[in-house]
Amino acid sequence: MTLQIDVRDLVGQPGSSRTVRLAEPVGGLATELADVPEDRDVAADLLFESVVEGILVTGPVEGRMRIRCARCLQEVDAPFQLNVQELFAPDARIGEDQYPLAEGIVDLEPMIRDAVILAMPFAPLCRPDCLGLCERCGGDRNLGQCTCPPEADPRWSALSHLRFDPPDERS
């Protein structure tokens, strides 16, 4: 779904503004360990201001994302709220710090996608004290102590074959 807003009434009228509220699903909001499901709405309460360079869009964007803990892989829902402030300009080119304003239409989807993906945690945790998974058996250490036997250091394995005679009991 594209979030295109007609702003022809604001273009070329510096100082004029209006507020747009929206709640729509936005596809493609995902990283390796976090995503916003495509059936969930992303809400925004945005102020569109006409400036000499184009249209300045500011305001909060919020919703709920699903994260997978980087330590234990448990899925958790977490809210997000971030503020955007972006310029839409008629002469914007790809790779610049502006978004295109084409024929009086502002497409908010790329701006929302960029802002939300950049705000997603790189290594999310289900809780700050998450113990993670056992590296040997894969058991969740948050549910209790792991019952794996202690791991032997392979560098010492040659010594396991050494046998010593009991000490002589002569006094």
Q: What is the pLDDT of residues 147-169, one digit of tens each?
A: 888 777 888 888 878 888 887 76
Contact by Cβ (8 Å): 113, 86: no
Single pTM value for the model: 0.77
pLDDT of residue 2: 61
Q: What is the pLDDT of residues 52-69, one digit of tens each?
A: 999 999 999 999 999 999
> Could you write out the DSSP letters of every residue in 56-83?
EEEEEEEEEEEEE-TTT--EEEEEEEEE
Residue 48, C-beta contacts closer than 8 angstroms, at least 6 positions apart:
5, 7, 10, 17, 18, 19, 20, 55, 56, 57, 106
